[in-house]
Amino acid sequence: MYRIYAVIPLLLVGIIIASGALTSAASPNISHPYRGSKDIKPGNLVSLDSTQDNYVEPANLNTGNRLVGIAVGDDDSLVAIDADSNRIQIATSGVATALVSDLNGAIKSGDQIAVSPFSGIGMKAQPGSRIIGLAQSALSGEEARISTKEVTDRDGDKKTIKVGYIRVSVAIGSVPAAQPDTEQNAIQRLARSLTGHNVSTVRLVISTFIAVIALIALVALIYTSVYGTIIAIGRNPLAKASIFRALLSVVGLVILTAGVALGTIYLIIR
């Protein structure tokens, strides 16, 4: 009998631990009320307003350091703290529906979602980005309610992007900025700055070989042409016009050869 009574506290402790584990695994959606403009719709990423207390504004690259959560509907939160119909509910944990675009590439499940240049709209994160969390679904299919928008970038070029809704596990943080590769030599760093990506050593060797051969050929061609022109004019000054025309033809050939060499090198390292 006493053994049974001794086991009961242990069972209670086990039940408490198990219920705590289940509660933490459930990770309920928790939202907090904020004030903000009527332009903020469910799904918008929002940041704290630096000019007013307890106010939020649509998040973008300029306000990403104050990112606070995702705007949700009143029925989308399992736990709404101090619910108020006159305020905007902002999900600060759990899983919420977010409005995103493919501005920085297609979004798949597991991708980090960051703020974008467009207020309230997220995108696939890049190094140094401020993120709202992890995508739990891809930006595709009917559930995403995808639409297309035509936008203009900083260079004035127009492009069409997809905008839609995905499920995001809210976990605000930052992606570490890309660190420079100190092991790369000067040529590799130059190639990376020109192409925007790392270039293999084999491609660099081939490109360097082509550049050296082309340079030797061009120097030899220019030298012999100029030297021959001087000798020819000295021997026959009356043929100066025809000699210069021949020299211009050689200059055109030099320019063409240089262009072909540069184009070949670009195709190899791009």
Q: What is the pLDDT of residues 72-112, one digit of tens each?
A: 987 766 565 555 667 889 998 889 999 999 998 899 999 99
- The reported pLDDT for the residue numbered 28 is 56
| Mean pLDDT taken over the chain | 79
- The reported pLDDT for the residue numbered 211 is 87
Q: Which tens digit of pLDDT belongs to each residue from 12-30?
A: 334 333 334 333 333 457 8
- The reported pLDDT for the residue numbered 78 is 58
pLDDT beyond 50 at 8: no
Q: Which tens digit of pLDDT belongs to each residue from 136-145?
A: 999 987 777 8
Work out the angle between the directed axes of helices 186-195 and 240-269 (0-180°, nearest 10): 90
Give the max Cα distance, the chain: 130
Question: Which of the residue ranges 66-80, 158-172, 175-189 would you say has the lowest mean pLDDT?
Answer: 175-189
- Report the amino acid identity of residue 91: A
Confidence bin at 245 (pLDDT 50/70/90): confident
What is the SS3 assignment for 24?
Answer: helix
Q: What is the DSSP string of 105-171?
A: S---TT-EEEE-SSTT-EEE--TT-EEEEEESS-S-SGGGT-EEEEEE-TTS-EEEEEEEEEEEEEE
Confidence bin at 60 (pLDDT 50/70/90): very high
